[in-house]
Structure 1
Amino acid sequence: MTHIFLMTDTISEGYIILITGLFIVFSGLLILTLFFKYGMPVMLYVYKIITKGPDKKVSEISSKVNNQFTGEIAAAISVALHMYLSAQHDNENAVLTIKQARKMYSPWSSKIYGAYRNRL
């Protein structure tokens, strides 16, 4: 029985992998560029039409102002949020103590013995 070993050129395999990888990366970049250039404006336009209603044009829509919402109300809300978020966290000591763990030597985990066993 004869064994035939296929000899492949590793350099040509490297070129194939290189070209395939470059093709995947640059085609992905091209697809993302096309999506952000053409797809996003279309999606945003459709979103504006859906949320504002089909009867109105996007240029006709104006923002409504609530005259009852004053600066005092905004300040009270911001102070309440600040107090709530700062009360959640405890003030802890920032001192970090690192103790080195003592490891016992074990021949079972030694890599030297594993290297000699694999050569036999």
Structure 2
Amino acid sequence: MTQIKEGYLILFSGLIIVFTALLILSLFFKFGLPVMLYTYKIITKGPDKKIKDISIASNKKFTGEEAAVIAATIQIYLSEQHDFENPILTIKKAEKSYSPWSSKIYGVQNKL
């Protein structure tokens, strides 16, 4: 096979793979995901209950002081997470002194 025919073979096989994957994903999102969500809804709330009939359980012992402590702790944690650095960059050019030990010129020439 010539290189052009091999290139076309790679091109068409790649296109077939990509579009097949897109077709499978679109079919999954069209048909598979609603079925999964419906079964999840049946498992979590039961077949006879409606969503608005399910009550939200709350803890009566949870006070405002506890909520304030939790909020303050989260605020302190998030504020300490970031380092504040100087945004000004200073770039200094370092002057290199000439050294014959690091010069590549002397290694290339063959002096006998």
Q: Is this a same-fold pair by TM over 0.5?
A: yes
Q: CA deviation at 1:82?
A: 1.7
Alignment length, in residue pairs?
A: 97
Which residue number in structure 2 is paired with residue 93 of structure 1?
86
Which residue number in structure 2 is paired with residue 24 of structure 1?
17
Per-residue Cα deviation, 1:72-91 (whole angstroms, up to 9, x for no partner): 67973444422221033343
Unaligned runs of at least 5 residues, structure 2: 97-101, 106-112
Separation in 2 of the partners of 1:64 and 1:31? 38
Separation in 2 of the partners of 1:105 and 1:27? 59
User: How high is the TM-score relative to the length of structure 2?
Assistant: 0.59
1:35 partner letter: F
Which residue number in structure 2 is paired with residue 116 of structure 1?
none
User: How high is the TM-score relative to the length of structure 1?
Assistant: 0.56
Separation in 1 of the partners of 2:75 and 2:58? 24
Q: CA deviation at 1:65?
A: 6.7
Alpha carbon RMSD of aligned pairs, Å?
3.5
1:9 partner letter: T
Which residue number in structure 2 is paired with residue 112 of structure 1?
none
Which residue number in structure 2 is paired with residue 64 of structure 1?
56
